[in-house]
Amino acid sequence: MTDAPANDPVRTEGENLIEVRGLLSQFGENVIHQDLDLDVVRGEVLGVVGGSGTGKTVLLNTIIGLKQPEGGTIRIFGHDIADMTKDQAADIERRTGTLFQQGALFSSLSVLDNVASPLVEHTRLPKDTIRELAEMKIAMVGLKPEVHYQKPAELSGGMRKRVGLARALSLDPELLFLDEPTAGLDPIGAAAFDDLIRNLSDDLGLTVFMITHDLDSLYAICDKVAVLADKHVVEKAPVAELERSDHPWIKEYFLGPRGRAATKTAA
């Protein structure tokens, strides 16, 4: 057995990659989250659900540092995001990837350059190596070489999401954030994207934090689901346990007509 490189992070099964404690989020007088606690465990695919206005995307943006919390603490890979050095912040950025709901691709860049952009920013690899790595990530998400020099506007919505996913994976992250990854896709495209995420998670050992409204996605790929309601996480459990919950919103969500349909599909 060879020793791991000195700078290789120690990886422990069951450890919390994300720890949120007592989170307070608000816009003016409008309180979105209060006393919110959440753990995301290494290796799990976590779905995050909640009604409109419960702050799912606000939570994601706060965890990844796009919004400052009004209170509480957030730790990623053991680092308190409010008290990090520049090196620690750069380390977290390299070890995480994010697929935003609309893809957030650079409209003026080709697919290849979009996927390569994190490698250009965070590494000193030769240009040829960066190109080869970007091409590999594009193939990994199921896209053909013909798309390499196309612009985002020339792609379908599903293809843009795959390009966004390839870019999120470009630095081989341990932790992947997905904001409504199947939104706007037809049922066949959504199912294919679900399969892609699950396979990548299994093959690459990814931990996934996924906001979704898609019940089929929850049943198909999520190990656990965190439910946002009443300004905090009211439950975090496998779907089968949530189906037995007494919380009114959870009952309506999982046991309403769409939930019953998703249950039959999963079975």
Give the 3-state secondary structure of residue 52.
Answer: coil
CA-nearest of 173, 254, 177 to 218 is 254
CA-nearest of 13, 44, 103, 41 to 221 is 44
What is the distance between the terminal CA atoms of the chain, rounded to a whole angstrom?
A: 42
- pTM to 2 decimals? 0.88
Q: What is the pLDDT along the chain (267 residues), one digit of tens a residue?
A: 333 333 444 445 578 999 999 999 999 999 999 999 999 999 999 999 999 999 999 999 999 999 999 999 999 999 999 998 988 988 898 999 999 877 689 989 999 999 999 999 989 999 999 999 999 999 999 999 999 999 999 999 889 999 999 999 999 999 999 999 998 888 899 999 999 999 999 999 999 999 998 999 999 999 999 999 999 999 999 999 999 999 999 999 988 665 555 555 555
Q: Give burial (CB, 10 Å; 0-12/13-18/19+) of 13.
A: exposed
Q: Give burial (CB, 10 Å; 0-12/13-18/19+) of 144.
A: exposed
17-43 burial code (b ≥16 CB/10 A, e <16): bbbbeebebbeeeeebbbebebbbbbb
